[in-house]
A = this chain, B = another copy of it.
Amino acid sequence: MTKAAVLLADGFEEIEAITIVDVLRRGGVGVDMLATNGRDEVTGDHGIVVRADARLGTTDPYDAIILPGGHPGAVALRDNDAVIAALQEMDAAGGLVAAMCAAPIALGRAGVLAGRTYTCYPGYEDQIDNGEFAEDVVVVDGRLVTSRGPGTALAFAYALLDALGKDAATLRQRMLYTLVAGGSAPE
């Protein structure tokens, strides 16, 4: 089974984190929400407390590592050496590395954006000194997938399924995303 780790720090953006986990599990990806705060529960940017599946560093390797944004969640991810090491290891192993909203700042610190194109929440590109910034809703550059904010979380999650070789088109229909974004969503 394809396995993905979604890293949660206190202050994670709830819509982003939960949308990623929900969609990937619907699509047949085994997802672990990994706490990076050394505890078993993580508190989101808007006070929603979620139970993590495990703590970062206690599980087997994954096929993908995915970072939701949020304040101060994305800063906590960027400043966590274990998170940076996990990103670098995933990238070196050729796995999927992904982040959205403010969280690409962690990818920047990890150095995995060099020579690649990425996107992020407007303005955070000023805190990233490697990689080429683009304004698309979702940017896929090889095994790097990035996106912009809560409103783009579903588009990001479907792009992650595509990148992991799963069927996103059926879910886009079943989840009624096509009613809102249409078949012409700017992905």
Contact = CB atoms under 8 A, between A and B. Distances in A.
Given A50-B49, A50-B50, A177 B151 contact: yes
Interface string A141-165: 0000000111110110000000000
A121 B175 CA distance: 9
A185 B179 CA distance: 9
A99 to B, nearest CB: 15
B180 A150 contact: no
A14 interface: yes
Contacts of A50: 48-51
Contacts of A51: 41, 49-51
Interface in A8-64: 13-15, 18-19, 21-23, 25-26, 33, 41, 44, 46-51
A180 B179 contact: no
A181 interface: yes
Nearest to A155: B180
A25 B47 contact: yes
A82 interface: no
Contact of A180 (B13, B19, B41, B152): B152
A17 to B, nearest CB: 8
Interface of A: 13-15, 18-19, 21-23, 25-26, 33, 41, 44, 46-51, 121-122, 137, 148-152, 154-155, 172, 174-181, 185-186
Sort A-B residue pairs by CB-CB distance and give the 3 closest, nearest first. Answer: A151-B177, A149-B176, A49-B51
